[in-house]
Structure formats: C-alpha cells, structure tokens
Amino acid sequence: MKSEIRSPKPEARREEPPLPPACRPLIAGHKPHALAPARRRFRISDFKPPCPFHCALAFLLTLPLVAAEKPADPGLPYVYTKWEQLTTQDGLPNDHIFAVKADPARDCVWMGTEDGLARYDKKTKQIKSWHEKDGLPWRVVTAIEVDPKTGDLWLGLFGGGLARFSAGRFDHYNQLNSGLVNDVVYAIAVENDHVWCATTAGASRYNTKTDKWDIFTEVNAPMEEIWNYNVSARDGKVHLAVWGSGVLEFDVQTENWKTYLDPDGEMEIDLYRDDGNVHVITTGASYVDKVLWISSYFGCCRYDGRHWRGYFDHDCGLPSNFNNNVKARSGQEAWFCSDKGLGACMDADTCTWVTYTSDGKNHTGQAVIKRENTTVKVVDTGYNVPHSFQICVDFDGNDVWAGTSKGVGHGIGEGYYPRLQPAGTTLPKTATK
C-alpha cells in the first residue's frame, strides 16, 4: 500500500485589528481605502533640507521657555558698612567684653567687661565706668539685662553672684544671702516679675515682688548636667542653654518643661541632617516669632515648630562651628558669635548669610555674602568689628552692637531692611571711625 504523502494544512490566517483609514496606505499588504489618495513611491529627492530662517525662528521661540526655567535671583541682604569701634582708648575699663545691652529708654548701651561695668552715652559719645571702688560687688560682669517695667539694671557676676543697679545703688545677691544656686552667673533674663539666672550649678528664678527664690537643677528639671550656660525669655517661654542637656524650654503659664536634644546621640558629628538640635552642648538660645535659634560649640540650628535646619561652617555662611552666643532679630534673621567672626543669617528661607571679619592690626575688614555655601558677593566694609573672636551681640533699632575679645563694634544701620531686596540694590557707602 502506497504511503500517502499529505501536504500540511496551511495555518489559519490571523486576523489583525483594522487600522485607521489614514494609516492603511502606509502599511504593506493593506489595500488603499476608498477615500485615501493613490499610493506613490517616495524618493530621496522629495526631502528638502529645512529652511535656515525657520530653524532660527524655532530656536528663538524656545528661548523664553529656557529662561523661565532658570530660578529667579532672590536678591541681596543688607550689609553693615558703617562701623565704629570702642576700646580702652575710648574709655572702656577693659577690652574683654562679656555682655552688651542696648537701653533705648536711656539712649545708651551697657557693657560688661572683665574689669567693670561701662555705659556708653549715644548723645555725648562718652563712656562712664563703675568698679568695685564705686560699689560694684564684683569686677567681672558677664551678663546684663534691663527690667522694662522698672528700668532696673540686673548684672550677672562671674564669681560674685547677682547685682541690681537702681537709682545709683548696687544691691548684691549671692549664695549666702539669697536663693541664688551658685555665684558664677553666666546669663540673666527678665520674665515678667521674675529674674532668671543661668549659673554653673543650675538655674535660679527670683520674684522681685514677693522676694521668693526658686532653684532648678537635675532634681526638679530635665537636666542631665546642671551647667547652665545661657538663658532667654520671650513670649511666655524661658529657654535654658545647658551644657550637656541641649536646650530646655519652660512654659511660664503651665510651668512644664520641654527638652531639645540631639536625637542621634552622637557627640562628635551630626549623624542625621536636620533631625533636631545639632548637639547637646549648647551655648545660647533665642526665641523670636515662634522660631527657636540655638548656638553650640559644634554648629548651630533653627527650629520653626515643625522643621529643623542645622548650620555648619562648611555648608553656609556660619564663620565657625564654635559659637559663643546667638541673638535673633526675627524668625528669619539671627546673629551668631563665633571664634572666627560674626555670622548673620539674614534670610532663613534662602539660607542667605553675611559674615563679618576684620584685621585689627591693619584696621581692615570685609563682609562675605553667601547663599548656602556659595559666595555671592564680597563687600569691603573697612574696619568693622574690633576682633573676629565674638562673644555677645545685641540690637538697638536698626543698629547692632557686637562685643569681642578686643572691644565693641557698633554697626550703624542706615537704610537697614530685613531679609532681601532685588539684585542691584545699592549698598551704603563704607564709613568707619
């Protein structure tokens, strides 16, 4: 029987989905649509080079789009270019300035030095000093505060306790005759009828009306260490900068405490960026517009109630990570006293800084404007702060007073403006004493 050879059955043709009529003439194997034009074969000669004019026009039309993508210049901060310097040659009892406090009611500025109290009269430009022979209880004045209700001047004494200067008389408070916890007083803050003292063994609160004292240590406050380095009071909050315990916040109304520590727990580095306070060893705290600014020997930071921002000398205009103090003018502006210059964060939203440094020997100085870690402009201010080692700072209207290890610098804020102004803003002319 012959074997029958059968051809394999052709596979069933797969139906493809119909194409839109306009596409069918371009696909091989499809018949032209009844309404489609007749197919023609394309030749290379059919393609002509584009018109240069049209190409240039198309390029120019895209320029506004490219320019729109470039971020706008946020502008420049105010720079202090008019300065005067006060030293022993001008009548200061000592050039080592621990405290400076503007007193607008008396139109003067108080200065605490290593050897006495000084008052600078802004009208007469004369300096008057008080020493131990004049009734000052202790020669080293480390803190000055003015009671806005009474006008009394409160002085922190380094080893001498606390003093009140009123009507030309000094009243003395120490460990032996009062509730002051320690005689080494680093800072003072006036809160309503209370005077707070930051000391090397805790904090003390004195009620000037009832003559009652309260002491805060590790026993009744969240202090891991009791060395209180600074204190400030504003808007119902008292902030203590504590060596080894970060910043403690005391609510005046509820008398409850809140702590601001370094969450990563690392002493040498800030392990996680912007996660909280940069370090537990703090030197200052300033609370303005519900924003807390903090200084330390390992960098600085800002907290607006929701977000933290750390500042270090390698990523912004902060002159050094070693900072002795901080004073805020607003929620956007704060001045930091470092060992390498006076650093002013002038606009927190854009991280725009102005750093003031000087050469005391040659009486020269400059201000460096930075945005983040990029230098925007360098301004020759002439001689500004007497020395780059900054210890304290205070504001007097538009003016700024900076205490250093070699005298006081007075920045005259003619034409001062907060935050930033558009690029091209004319800076004040340099004028120094």
Angstrom distances, CA of residue 114 to CA of 68, 111, 130, 206: 57, 10, 12, 25
Query: What is the radius of gyration, based on Cα positions, of the chain?
Result: 34
pLDDT at 406: 97
Place of tokens 């606009």: 347
pLDDT at 49: 55
Could you read off the pLDDT tens digit of each residue along the chain, which spans 433 residues? 434 444 444 444 444 444 443 333 333 344 443 334 444 443 444 445 555 555 554 554 554 544 445 568 899 999 999 999 999 999 999 999 999 999 999 999 999 999 999 999 999 999 999 999 999 999 999 999 999 999 999 999 999 999 999 999 999 999 999 999 999 999 999 999 999 999 999 999 999 999 999 999 999 999 999 999 999 999 999 999 999 999 999 999 999 999 999 988 776 667 778 899 999 999 999 999 999 999 999 999 999 999 999 999 999 999 999 999 999 999 999 999 999 999 999 999 999 999 999 998 899 999 999 999 999 999 999 999 999 999 999 999 999 999 999 999 999 999 999 999 987 656 555 544 4
Q: Are 386 and 335 in contact (CB under 8 A)?
A: no
Any idea how long the chain is? Answer: 433
Structure tokens of 67? 């320019």
At 387, give phi and psi (nearest 5°): -155, 150
At 258, give phi and psi (nearest 5°): -135, 140
CB-neighbour burial class of residue 259 (10 A; exposed 0-12, middle 13-18, buried 19+)? middle
At 136, give phi and psi (nearest 5°): -60, 125
**Domains along the chain with CATH numbers:** 85-342 (2.130.10.10)
Angstrom distances, CA of residue 68 to CA of 64, 371, 382, 423, 424: 6, 21, 39, 18, 20
Q: Are 380 and 430 in contact (CB under 8 A)?
A: yes
**Which DSSP symbol is given to 297?**
B
pLDDT at 44: 41
Q: E strand or H helix at 237, and its extent?
A: strand 237-242
Full DSSP string of 87-110: -GGGT-S-S-EEEEEEETTTTEEE
pLDDT at 72: 80
338 Cβ neighbours under 8 A, 6+ residues apart: 318, 319, 320, 321, 322, 323, 324, 390
Candidates 107, 116, 108; CA nearest to 88 is: 116
Half-sphere exposure of residue 76: CA atoms within 13 angstroms, side-chain side? 18
Full DSSP string of 46-76: G--PPPHHHHHHHHHHHHHHHHHHSPPP--E
pLDDT at 273: 84
d(CA 83, CA 119): 18
Residue 383 burial (CB count, 10 A) = 19
Q: pTM, whole model, 2 decimals?
A: 0.82
d(CA 305, CA 286): 14
Report which residue type is found at 217: T
